[in-house]
Structure 1
Amino acid sequence: MPVHAGLLALSPHLALLALPAIPGLERPAEAVLRGAGGVLRPPLSWQAITGPEGRLHLLLARTQPGLAAEAPLVLAPSDGPALRLWPEAAEDAASLLGTDAPGPLLALLRFVAGKALGAFRAGEDPSLATACHAMAAGLRDGARAAVPAARCGHDALLWTLPAPASGPHLLLTRGRIQRVALAGEHAILPDTGAAEAWLLPPAGDAPILLPRVPTRLPGLTHLARGKEPQARALHRAAQAELARRAAAEPPMRRLLRDQQLLLPTARVRQHAIAGAPFGAGLDLAVPDHGGGLFLRGWLRDPMGMIAGLTLCNPFGEQRLDPATLLRFPRPDLVKEFAGAPHGGADARAGFALWLPEGATRPAAQWRLRLGLTTGEAVTLVAPPGLLHPQAAREAILSAIAPAHASAALMTRAIAPPVERLHALVMAGRGAPEVIRMGAPVRDPACACIVPLYRNLRFLRAQLGAFARDPGLREVELIYVLDSPEQRDEVEHMLRGMQRLYRLPLTLVVQPRNYGYGAACNAGAAEARAPVLLLLNSDVVPAARGWLAPMLTALRRSRKLAAVGPKLLFEDGSLQHAGLYFLQMPEEEEWFNDHYFKGHPRHWPAAGVARRVPGITGAAFCVKRAAWQAVGGISTDYVIGDYEDSDLCLRLRAEGGEIAYAPEAELFHFERQSIRDHGGYARSLASTYNRGLHHRRWSADIAALMARFARAGGRR
């Protein structure tokens, strides 16, 4: 006789089989189950529960051939005779179990929902979620109801639970099953819209009903501004819940950050009284958007009254070891407190520190509590520190004067947060706007890419020189604007010159200032020519015919990847005749330098075409294939500096060579194209870039320069 079994279709993809207790069959999971289509395919998950008529064995399986109502199955145990099963369709969970008693139904629901998120990866199956939601609704009589308290952003709600709950729970909606972790009386859960939902505890208790949410529900900001104790208590509970989950859940971290941004800021507070026996300030407390925190401040303690330092935020405190503070000179404080009655400021009164995990929860403002030897405390308040990654990067790079930035400061306090922030800035780049003027060159020999940033003084002279040179008529001219606030001005200027000179032009407008490397890459993406020429906006040709020698050099040598011209200062003296690397006796890092810089224009050695270690990005002519092989110019460097030598070294790593073509002469009004960038000119950006370049290429540079030294000796 066949054994009758119940079969419930949970969704088009999953089915549940229920077998009565069979004498001698204690471990059905060890048996082999076959249908008309052969052995049932895994995953197969078994669970035993107790119903009103005794023990039931439940099997959750994927829908497959042979698993259907009135289609016989054969169950072959490992140690007994095979059994013939006859599945009969069940209308719902209660008919499958033979009871609607809460206990068996709850056990069935926990089994199905838990396995759906486990072996079956079916949490996003809407049909299964609807079936589980219906099972939970069958437990309504014994359920407890939560109360919606506030909206948390656009897609989450704060709930007050009927009793404190902890640990992983299952959230059941009509479209999804997901696991959530609870820890107390309040929970922030996804907004399920107008429909009710259910929270399923891991064991014991009945489900928690999340009823339909009223249309009008206060937001967290409204609670923060409220005067009622209950509203403020709810806001504190929400902040605590956000803080608990912020480190592991990016959406919660983002919501916590946004809430912090809207909080009223406290007044910045220093202790800078000349007549006091000590003084201190916390000038910057800037999160690096990766869990770390950068601090800059100062301490004046001639009488030795500061016994301890504690960094505070709304979510906790952290003791700081004074020995870990990296000190640097603050001449302004030495001057300000020179006549203080208890003693002035130490020459190295400034301090900086990077805490890699100091800001796992974003806080709007940070405080530094000074514990005094008297047992009293003084609290300093930093300016608001939650900044856009680009602003945070600039703040850190501007925190210390370049002359005072030691190697330890750069390595341990500046470079790590800047690297994190710069990566975020570059990852957030949007697509540029491309504006084409005039009919494009049909078969361009070269694409000339000119990044523009604020300084437009040389644009008319440069484009006028291009227009007078017949060799530029077959060149794509691509200007990349890295200061989008000038878009209208630059487009108006270029359209006028395009009509005047009849030169086709392309203007690429970056959405934000992302620096030289990103600008060059954006221009190269619009180019069609087999050769790319990167040209600074402050470079102007000295005469016609300057491009041909570089193109000829590239065409004649398969090994050659890039070539650079002779660059001249405004007075006609040499600025660049090839780039090489120099290591000063007192410095560990390699610097970029230029052959024959400052020599007369016609210095004989500078008139010799030759291979060189590198060339400057001010005028960089490179084969497109070689450019693409190395992925273009690196965007790891901040704003602009050392990307050109980095590109040279990457081209060399791919087997390419670099050459210098003295017949090509241009004037370079050095660093005019970057002088208006306050975030670069007065900051540690160049120092940061040099350190990055050195860490990346030090061994390669040493070998390269040794090779060039040997070659020079043979000559």
Structure 2
Amino acid sequence: MSAGLLTGTADGLAMPNAMAAAQATAGLLALSSGLSLLALHEAPGIDRLAEATLSGAAGPLRPPLSWQAIPLGTGKLHLLLARSQPGLEAGATLRLAAASGTACRLALQAATDAAALLGTEEPAAHLQLLRFLTGKALGIFRAAEDAAFAGCCLRMAAALGAEAPLAQAAVRCGQDAVYVTLPPGLGAGPLVLLGRRRIQRIAAEGDTAILPDPGPEGGWLLTSGGELVRLALPARRLPGLAQLARSREPGARGLQRAAQAALARRAATEAPIRRLLRDQQLLQPIARTRQHAAPGQPFGAGLDLAVPDHAGGVFLRGWLRDPLGLVASLTLVSPFGEQRLPQAALLRFPRPDLVKEFAGAPHGNADARAGFALHLPEGAAQPAAQWRLRLGLSTGEQVTLVAPPGLLHPQAARDAILSAIAPPHATPELMARAIAPPVERLHALVMAGRGAAEAIRIGEPVRDPAAAVIVPIYRNLHFLRHQFAAFARDPGLRAAELIYVLDSPEQRDEVEHAYRGLSRLYRQPLTLVIQPRNYGYGAACHAGAAEARAPVLLLLNSDVVPAAPGWLAPMLQALRRQKVLSAVGPKLLFEDGSLQHAGLYFLRMPGEAEWFNDHYFKGHPRDWPAAQRARRVPGVTGAALCVRTEAWKAVGGISTDYVIGDYEDSDLCLRLRADGGEIGYVPSSELYHFERQSIRDHGGYTKSLAATYNRGLHHRRWDADIAALMARMGRR
């Protein structure tokens, strides 16, 4: 385009306001289907173009509108970036009006490319245009993902960059990330990466940067100082970080450490980099676990467990034998930094195994409380897969311990921490400071990440069910057929919907096959709900309740079997007759016929601060007179808990904050009470409960601190309420 295309002439044209106006020609370049660029040398009579208004045949142009002046040898060229819209097309006319009333008509004429639009080949002008376009696209126009616009910018850069310096891609950091060394002297500030499909702002650190993979065609970088840098991948395949980590060449290892450090710095603020770093640590070779445990040494130590809590903290468990006081300092080391650990901050607990192992050691035995645990709430801002503990000795020497890999799924990390200390050794201080905080964080993540359950309906559903019987199942299938047969023989259960929730999905085929056979045999419909993984009793009850249609829910353990038909009706009658009752529970019997449950109450054990759950008349004869009386009680057990559906919904159902199962039944009763309801005991409903059978196969519960954690959580929530309740109702 010749320079004359953009010159203005003073014509006396009739305007709508009857004022004389000038006319000028403006070049128009379509950058993409969504963005257009105008260029004109001047608008006669209008000095401050950025304050003027632009109108077309369809009315005022819609914002955003952005002006930029570029100096040329022939004067200034005024550029306007706008969204494509009616009135911005070749052959149209725009009205440019100043606040003073002066107006000018702009006749739009199409330009074929940037050079034609600018009317010059001056590199400085083209570079300034490129900086203007990319800055606005990343700003108010939000056009960074506009592929056509990105391609236009890429072509401008390629036309300008014949002599541009080269950025060298050195390491592949991930599927879509490369570590790049930049030409020296570019200065500080972010870079703009011009790619084939997008433009984006990239952080640079000195002479290096981590960039998205530009692809085989390469890309261009625009520095904050306005320089262009060409980015091209080498013809050979780039090595990955894991490959460099295995190399014995010092240069390769140094490059790997530099790239890893750059990733670590960006991981603090960029979630994709955090995920990339986590994945790399999991897949790269892990250092061998290392302890200092020879009995003949004057001291010994080990870091058994270092588990991030996925919320910025890390849990540590280890041991230290130092009879001569040689260990002067402890430093926790990760790939992202170091932090000193005062020995006084370690929470100690007994390790009888170490006392036995080091008995008779020449320099002294292990202390009875040689174990230590610690939670650092802010100690793992970055996701480290493996941790080290460096021991500084009084002689100035250092010994480094290496923990096993600890970057685990939240559920595995939660269970590892709960199993870190034997229950008899877990003091209230250890629970409060070292165990409960990371477990609470991890369990919340487990519950938040629950997948959707799958419901399988077997047989014709019951119409207008009076109650929904919800039975969670986890691994132990010993009572499955006995319980279902008892239900099927009971006429009162024909009006109930049976909902079984399988919390061990690995047993799906076996359980589904069994229930399909039982349903056909007894002509009893049911719903089988499959949890995607074991989330615990509370989550299983919620999954079952979500499928229920009845006005009453009965939560029933899989190891509960009716003593005789007709057991459900008395509980339903109690709820119908006493509107104040939100929930009721039956009489439960041990295998030998003695009482296991006649209502639940709370007590403090001697020397204990926390409340425990217990059952009235436990171990008494089945027909113990006091247990034959229906009455209100503090709570009832979740082994058989009958609750109004509306009351369940009003309090949000059973809590999923408790790990695996325990105390959520009394928590539900207390929340129903807080909502204005009462809890009742119905002795005419009798069932056998083969206690703890439904959870006996759960190693994560039976051998861990889960029950201790749950009791502490329950106590913190309800201490004052329980004290007031028990003062009113009493143990007997």
TM-score normalised over the length of structure 1: 0.91
Match for residue 543 of structure 2 among 503, 522, 525 = 522
Q: Which residue of 2 aligns with 1:468?
A: 489
Where in structure 2 are the equivalents of 1:116-265 lying within 5 Å? Answer: 116-163=137-184, 167-206=189-228, 208-211=229-232, 216-265=237-286
Structure 1 residue 297 displacement after superposition: 1.0
Alignment-mate amino acid for residue 340 of structure 2: R
TM-aligned CA distance change 1:695 to 1:172, over 3 Å: farther
Q: Is the 8 A contact 2:502 2:530 kept in 1?
A: yes
Alignment-mate amino acid for residue 449 of structure 2: G
Q: Is the 8 A contact 1:129 1:177 kept in 2?
A: yes
- Distance, in Å, in 1 between the alignment partners of 2:361 and 2:392 is 22
Q: Is the 8 A contact 2:45 2:103 kept in 1?
A: no
**Partner deviation per Cα, 1:83-115 (whole Å, 9 max, x = no partner):** 444443333222222223222222222222222
Structure 1 residue 56 displacement after superposition: 2.9
TM-aligned CA distance change 1:138 to 1:698, over 3 Å: farther
**Partner deviation per Cα, 1:348-369 (whole Å, 9 max, x = no partner):** 3221111223223333322111
Give the fraction of aligned pairs with identical amino acids, expressed as a percent: 73
Alignment-mate amino acid for residue 172 of structure 1: L
- Distance, in Å, in 1 between the alignment partners of 2:185 and 2:631 is 78
**Partner deviation per Cα, 1:34-81 (whole Å, 9 max, x = no partner):** 444444433333333323322233332333444444444444445684
- Distance, in Å, in 2 between the alignment partners of 1:174 and 1:276 is 62
Structure 1 residue 499 displacement after superposition: 3.6
- Distance, in Å, in 2 between the alignment partners of 1:649 and 1:63 is 62
TM-aligned CA distance change 1:543 to 1:339, over 3 Å: same
Q: Is the 8 A contact 1:21 1:54 kept in 2?
A: no
Structure 1 residue 469 displacement after superposition: 1.2
- Larger mean Cα displacement after TM superposition, 441-450 or 217-226: 217-226
Q: Is the 8 A contact 2:538 2:664 kept in 1?
A: yes
Q: Which residue of 1 aligns with 2:571?
A: 550
- Larger mean Cα displacement after TM superposition, 174-183 or 339-348: 339-348
Where 1:252 maps in the other structure, the secondary structure is helix
Q: Which residue of 2 aligns with 1:576?
A: 597
Where in structure 2 are the equivalents of 1:694-705 lying within 5 Å? Answer: 694-705=715-726
Structure 1 residue 217 displacement after superposition: 4.5
- Distance, in Å, in 2 between the alignment partners of 1:323 and 1:44 is 63
Q: Which residue of 2 aligns with 1:296?
A: 317
Is 1:503 paired with 2:524?
Answer: yes
Match for residue 512 of structure 1 among 529, 533, 541 = 533
Q: Is the 8 A contact 1:52 1:99 kept in 2?
A: no
Structure 1 residue 119 displacement after superposition: 1.7
TM-aligned CA distance change 1:302 to 1:216, over 3 Å: closer
- Larger mean Cα displacement after TM superposition, 613-622 or 81-90: 81-90
Q: Is the 8 A contact 2:45 2:102 kept in 1?
A: no
Is 1:602 paired with 2:603?
Answer: no
Where in structure 2 are the equivalents of 1:419-434 lying within 5 Å? Answer: 419-434=440-455
- Larger mean Cα displacement after TM superposition, 155-164 or 130-139: 155-164
Where 2:683 maps in the other structure, the secondary structure is strand
- Distance, in Å, in 2 between the alignment partners of 1:87 and 1:47 is 18
Q: Which residue of 2 aligns with 1:398?
A: 419
Where 2:162 maps in the other structure, the secondary structure is helix
Where 2:695 maps in the other structure, the secondary structure is coil
- Distance, in Å, in 1 between the alignment partners of 2:177 and 2:677 is 55
TM-aligned CA distance change 1:437 to 1:274, over 3 Å: same
Structure 1 portions without partners, runs of 5+: none
Q: Is the 8 A contact 1:565 1:577 kept in 2?
A: yes
Match for residue 581 of structure 2 among 549, 555, 560 = 560
Match for residue 308 of structure 2 among 287, 293, 303 = 287
Alignment-mate amino acid for residue 523 of structure 1: G
Q: Is the 8 A contact 1:164 1:186 kept in 2?
A: no
Where 2:509 maps in the other structure, the secondary structure is helix
**Partner deviation per Cα, 1:154-182 (whole Å, 9 max, x = no partner):** 33334444448654222222322222212
Q: Is the 8 A contact 1:193 1:213 kept in 2?
A: no
Q: Is the 8 A contact 2:289 2:401 kept in 1?
A: yes
Alignment-mate amino acid for residue 313 of structure 1: S
- Larger mean Cα displacement after TM superposition, 377-386 or 53-62: 53-62
- Distance, in Å, in 2 between the alignment partners of 1:702 and 1:54 is 86
Is 1:49 paired with 2:73?
Answer: no
**Partner deviation per Cα, 1:686-714 (whole Å, 9 max, x = no partner):** 122222223334444445445646xx99x
- Distance, in Å, in 2 between the alignment partners of 1:655 and 1:513 is 33
**Partner deviation per Cα, 1:318-356 (whole Å, 9 max, x = no partner):** 211222222222233334334334333333322111122
Q: Is the 8 A contact 1:246 1:360 kept in 2?
A: no
Q: Which residue of 2 aligns with 1:408?
A: 429
- Distance, in Å, in 1 between the alignment partners of 2:28 and 2:192 is 24
Q: Is the 8 A contact 1:540 1:668 kept in 2?
A: yes
- Larger mean Cα displacement after TM superposition, 588-597 or 228-237: 228-237
- Distance, in Å, in 2 between the alignment partners of 1:536 and 1:636 is 19
Q: Which residue of 2 aligns with 1:626?
A: 647
**Partner deviation per Cα, 1:441-499 (whole Å, 9 max, x = no partner):** 34432221211112222223222221221111232222222222323333343334334
TM-aligned CA distance change 1:270 to 1:25, over 3 Å: same
Match for residue 649 of structure 1 among 650, 660, 670 = 670
- Larger mean Cα displacement after TM superposition, 406-415 or 146-155: 146-155
- Distance, in Å, in 2 between the alignment partners of 1:436 and 1:214 is 58
Q: Which residue of 2 aligns with 1:324?
A: 345
- Distance, in Å, in 2 between the alignment partners of 1:594 and 1:409 is 29
Structure 1 residue 301 displacement after superposition: 2.0
Structure 1 residue 308 displacement after superposition: 0.6
- Distance, in Å, in 2 between the alignment partners of 1:673 and 1:205 is 70
Q: Is the 8 A contact 1:433 1:508 kept in 2?
A: yes
- Larger mean Cα displacement after TM superposition, 521-530 or 113-122: 521-530
Where 1:620 maps in the other structure, the secondary structure is strand
TM-aligned CA distance change 1:279 to 1:96, over 3 Å: same
Is 1:2 paired with 2:23?
Answer: yes
Structure 1 residue 563 displacement after superposition: 1.9
Where 2:701 maps in the other structure, the secondary structure is helix
Bigger-Rg structure (1/2): 2
Structure 2 portions without partners, runs of 5+: 1-21
Q: Is the 8 A contact 1:164 1:183 kept in 2?
A: no
Q: Is the 8 A contact 1:300 1:346 kept in 2?
A: yes
TM-aligned CA distance change 1:322 to 1:82, over 3 Å: farther
TM-aligned CA distance change 1:78 to 1:368, over 3 Å: same
- Larger mean Cα displacement after TM superposition, 671-680 or 118-127: 118-127
TM-aligned CA distance change 1:596 to 1:122, over 3 Å: farther
Structure 1 residue 239 displacement after superposition: 2.0
Alignment-mate amino acid for residue 205 of structure 2: A
Is 1:670 paired with 2:691?
Answer: yes
- Distance, in Å, in 2 between the alignment partners of 1:378 and 1:216 is 39
Structure 1 residue 590 displacement after superposition: 3.2
Structure 1 residue 231 displacement after superposition: 4.3
TM-aligned CA distance change 1:125 to 1:698, over 3 Å: farther
- Distance, in Å, in 1 between the alignment partners of 2:650 and 2:191 is 51
Q: Which residue of 2 aligns with 1:306?
A: 327
TM-score normalised over the length of structure 2: 0.89
Q: Is the 8 A contact 2:46 2:102 kept in 1?
A: no
TM-aligned CA distance change 1:27 to 1:580, over 3 Å: farther
**Partner deviation per Cα, 1:191-248 (whole Å, 9 max, x = no partner):** 3444433222222321x33347769554433333345555444433332232222222
Q: Is the 8 A contact 1:51 1:98 kept in 2?
A: no
Q: Is the 8 A contact 1:310 1:319 kept in 2?
A: yes
Q: Which residue of 2 aligns with 1:89?
A: 110
**Partner deviation per Cα, 1:398-443 (whole Å, 9 max, x = no partner):** 1112222222222222122212222232333333344443333344
- Distance, in Å, in 2 between the alignment partners of 1:170 and 1:268 is 43
